Copies of this chain bind each other. A is one copy, B any other.
Amino acid sequence: MKAEAAERRFVRFLKSKKQRVTRQRLEVLRLSWETHEHFTAEGMLTWARKLDQTVSRATVYRSLALLVEGGFLSVLERGKESSLYEHSLGHAHHDHMVCLSCETIIEFQCEAIEELQRLEAKKRSFNLVDHSLTLEGYCSQCKNPAR
């Protein structure tokens, strides 16, 4: 999805929730569309501050949460490490492989896995909303069988 489309959709999303369209919220949305990398809340704060000295950390967190709720961003939780965000609408869904050595993130898609997940959920009358799958190991660069 293009940035402008995302923006229009975000405005609609906010209105539907009776929330206000503010400069800060739009800014976070726009910035998240400007990279194709994963980013942290702190990273977003740094970018936002380049445009507007006064944006606060709290607002960045609050906006990111809103964007996730609306499905504009998806989150990759990393235990105690800070979460990584990426814009998601219009991106095909994918999962991640994370290198335990160099931290590189490889994205992959596998429809067969998704299908099996839906099947397992259905078996248990579980109303599947979302899922997160992360494979941990060593990328081809690091191939480090030690641990």
* Copies of this subunit: 2
Q: A77-B79, A79-B83, A97-B126 are in contact. Are A135 and B120 (CB under 8 A)?
A: yes
How near does chain B come to A82, taking the closest CB pair, in angstroms?
10
Residue of B nearest to A130 (CB): B136
Residue A53 is within 8 A (CB to CB) of chain B in the complex: no
* Contact across chains for A124 and B136 when beta carbons are under 8 A apart: no
Contacts of A113 in B (CB 8 A): 113, 116-117, 120
Q: Once the chains bind, are B135 and A121 in contact (CB under 8 Å)?
A: yes
Q: Are B116 and A129 in contact (CB under 8 A)?
A: no
| A110 beta carbon closer than 8 Å to chain B | yes
How many Å lie between the Cα of A126 and that of B96 in the bound state? 11
- Decide yes or no whether A54 CB sits under 8 A from chain B: no
| Residue in chain B with minimal CB distance to A133 | B133
Among B108, B129, B135, the residue within 8 A (CB) of A136 is: B129
